[in-house]
């Protein structure tokens, strides 16, 4: 949500994780040019006018594959960075972590 008075431009989104006692950052690769984003996300460099918000969707499978391929981690928060150096952070609710990694996870990466 752009709560400022000027147009904002998002530059990146990262997820803060803890793995093996270290803080690390996990980021979805951008969709290659000319391909359709299956989640219909807006482009990172599209303007967000004051009083407006942009919603970005990330598939659960992305986190589950990271977990399966590179080992367990704790998904702590999501960080959004704008093009003038501001960072916005939001903690990941336990409910989301449970849906991703709990006994009744919504998707099983196989």
Which of 33, 37, 100 lies closest to 66, judged by CA?
A: 100
84-93: long-range pairs with CB below 8 Å, 24+: 84/8, 86/8, 89/16, 92/15
Determine the Cα angle at 51 with ends 49 and 55, to 5°: 75
Q: Which residues pair with 80 in a beta bridge?
A: 13, 88
List the single range of 2-16, 25-39, 72-86 with lowest mean pLDDT.
25-39
The whole-model pTM stands at 0.74
Which of 28, 47, 27, 48 lies closest to 38, judged by CA?
A: 28
Q: Residue 17 — pLDDT band, cuts 50, 70, 90?
A: very high
Which of 83, 62, 95 lies closest to 6, judged by CA?
A: 83
pLDDT digits (tens, 9 = 90+) for 42-90: 666 678 887 877 777 788 888 888 888 888 899 999 998 888 788 888 8
């Amino acid at each position: 949500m752009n709560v400022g008075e000027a147009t904002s431009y998002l530059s990146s989104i990262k997820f803060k994780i803890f793995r093996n006692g270290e803080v690390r950052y996990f980021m979805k690769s951008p969709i290659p040019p000319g391909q359709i984003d299956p989640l219909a996300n807006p482009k990172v460099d599209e303007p967000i006018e004051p009083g407006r918000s942009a919603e970005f969707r990330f598939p659960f499978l992305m986190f589950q594959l990271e977990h399966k391929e590179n080992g367990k981690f704790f998904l702590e928060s999501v960080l959004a960075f704008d093009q003038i150096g501001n960072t916005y952070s939001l903690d990941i609710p336990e409910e989301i972590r449970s849906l991703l990694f709990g006994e009744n996870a919504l998707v099983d990466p196989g």
